Structure 1
Amino acid sequence: MQQSDGFEAMAPEAGTAGRPFINFDRVVKRYGDNVVLRELDFAVTAGERVTLIGPSGSGKTTILRLLMTLERVDGGVIWVDGEPLSHVYKDGRLMSAGEKHMRRIRRKIGMVFQQFNLFPNMSVRRNVTEAPVHALGLSRDEADQRAEELLDMVGLGEKIDQHPTQLSGGQQQRVAIARALAMRPEILLLDEVTSALDPELVSGVLDVLREIAENTDITMLCVTHEMQFAKDVSHRVLMFDHGQVVEEGTPERIFNDPREDRTRSFLKAVVEA
């Protein structure tokens, strides 16, 4: 039984300019005695690009996993476009939702993981087209056309009929980005998408993400240790520690004039690493 079962909560307005598109309302997540998120409150507006920084274990990836419903909250509510993600209203109160409800809300969200998670037995084409065909009901022709456009965008149009094992790590991650976008998400989650790559492959992946940020209005929530990337693409940066937001602000202020000692010490460690 989730601690959040059956409590009353007020729905935020749906995601239009200046209103929350993602909203964490007093969210708690624990693993045994380890409390990872401590009544976390934060919001992301429609079209906003927000980057989460902070030490390992501070709860950043947990936020993304909760949004993908790979984990369930132990308290509080997550709202997506004005609807509770893992809850439904029953008799005027919020109760835990079933898989059908979560799957419907989750269709608004795409995620690119640290590991590429491509199907090695499928071609690049099928990796990108399978979910749109089966989950969105697209025809094969429509899904193929979408895959070709996206793979061209990430610079891999000529690799469409190869298999993941024939690609470099950076190329596989770019395929994973195309696959996420093929589902036409309104929200794109990025979880340390360059951490598994050799250093010389990082820039190609980050360039693709910069292009997406500059040329679309997709809402982005990013976890990264690539501070220059965070500076380049973010509207806002949130510094996390021990499951709480320590400090937030524009990239210019957070990186050039952090106000909290914890932020300063983290950034100093990252720069000197």
Structure 2
Amino acid sequence: MPQSDDNTPAAREAAAGVPKPRSEEGSPLIRFDKVVKRYGDNTVLDHLDFSVQPGQRVSLIGPSGSGKTTILRLLMTLEHVTDGVIWVNGDPLSHEYKGTDLVKAGEQHQREVRKKIGMVFQQFNLFPNMTVRRNITESPIHTLGVSRDEADQRAAELLDMVGLKERIDAHPTQLSGGQQQRVAIARALAMRPEILLLDEVTSALDPELVAGVLDVLREIARTTDITMLSVTHEMQFAKDVSHRVLMFDKGKIVEEGPPDQIFGAPAEDRTREFLHAVLEG
């Protein structure tokens, strides 16, 4: 059933005093302009156009292989566009200007624009030979140039937020999967990104550990104005935190709208089929 008007993310945030995202008419923080991604003859993203406003939380849903994770990997420059342009905060990410010409971006340009973006992966990707402290502090020290004292203080604050302050000197092998993923979230936030990308962050966890990680992300969504782009099969999480939900299939957006519309009264048959399979299967 559709959510009541006083139980949507926007209504809950208004009551809690959380800043609203900028209007759709403002300048987008992320913009995909006719983006194509192919692997050989396989087209993963097909002339994709979409944008995300500053402060928006957008969930990408759809079947495996529909192009959702590729979007995040393109934003992190782990993959490169076949055609089209990706923009981040008004700057081209996939391209750069040479004079007045827009050409494929070099690594230095991409690295500079990518500083605005943090990502939490399906696998935790923590360095096993480093303590939790060092996993969180090394990038801010060496990439952002912050002092070790400042990085340590930030790490302690973030670990407190994710409920792991007492494990700051533990090694990843001493932590559960859920704890490692919470450390990975803290590590991404330590870089003070404008954009947080979440790629199926609970898919590698045992079922009993999922709730703890999602609760941390709900709290981040509730208490900050960070822009979030999440690929997820956790439909309740998408309902709880999203301003917009995009349904993907075969590299295209099939349907998009607020969560009460997408989950309560989807307009497209493909969306209804997918949600039935996920929620009832």
Asked if TM exceeds 0.5, the reply is yes
Residue of 17, 34, 39 corresponding to 1:31: 39
**Structure 1 residues 234, 16: CA separation in 2 closer, same or farther (over 3 Å shift)?**
closer
Q: Which residue of 2 aligns with 1:86?
A: 94
Which residue identity is paired with 1:185?
Answer: P
Q: Distance in 1 between matches of 2:201 and 2:142?
A: 26
Q: Which residue of 2 aligns with 1:164?
A: 172
Which residue identity is paired with 1:168?
Answer: S
1:22 lines up with 2:30 in the alignment: yes
Partner SS, residue 37 of structure 2: strand
Q: Distance in 1 between matches of 2:163 and 2:86?
A: 35
Q: Which has the higher contact order (CA 8 A, sep 6+)?
A: 2
Partner SS, residue 20 of structure 1: coil
Residue of 179, 182, 188 corresponding to 2:187: 179
RMSD of aligned Cα (Å): 1.0
Q: Which residue of 2 aligns with 1:3?
A: none
1:200 lines up with 2:208 in the alignment: yes
Q: Distance in 2 between matches of 1:19 and 1:248?
A: 19
1:155 lines up with 2:163 in the alignment: yes
Percent sequence identity is: 78
| Stretches of structure 2 lacking an aligned partner (at least 5 in a row) | 1-20
Q: Which residue of 1 aligns with 2:217?
A: 209
Q: Distance in 2 between matches of 1:139 and 1:82?
A: 30
Which residue identity is paired with 2:219?
Answer: E
Q: Distance in 2 between matches of 1:45 and 1:79?
A: 12
Which residue identity is paired with 2:117?
Answer: I
Partner SS, residue 211 of structure 1: helix
Q: Which residue of 1 aligns with 2:235?
A: 227
After superposition, the C-alpha distances for 1:128-153 in whole angstroms (9 at most, x for unaligned) are 00000000001110000000000000
Q: Which residue of 1 aligns with 2:107?
A: 99
Partner SS, residue 80 of structure 2: coil
Q: Distance in 2 between matches of 1:28 and 1:193?
A: 25
How far residue 176 of structure 1 moved from its aligned partner, in angstroms, is 0.1
Q: Distance in 2 between matches of 1:134 and 1:47?
A: 27
After superposition, the C-alpha distances for 1:57-105 in whole angstroms (9 at most, x for unaligned) are 0000000000000000000000000010021112322101111110010
After superposition, the C-alpha distances for 1:152-195 in whole angstroms (9 at most, x for unaligned) are 00000000000000000000000000000000000000000000
Q: Which residue of 2 aligns with 1:11?
A: none
Q: Which residue of 2 aligns with 1:8?
A: none
Residue of 127, 145, 154 corresponding to 2:153: 145
Q: Distance in 1 between matches of 2:98 and 2:170?
A: 49
Q: Which residue of 2 aligns with 1:259?
A: 267
Residue of 132, 149, 154 corresponding to 2:140: 132
Q: Distance in 2 between matches of 1:235 and 1:96?
A: 32
Q: Distance in 1 between matches of 2:41 and 2:158?
A: 44
Q: Distance in 2 between matches of 1:86 and 1:267?
A: 33
TM-score, length basis structure 1: 0.94
Report the number of matched residues. Answer: 259
**Structure 1 residues 16, 99: CA separation in 2 closer, same or farther (over 3 Å shift)?**
farther
How far residue 16 of structure 1 moved from its aligned partner, in angstroms, is 6.1
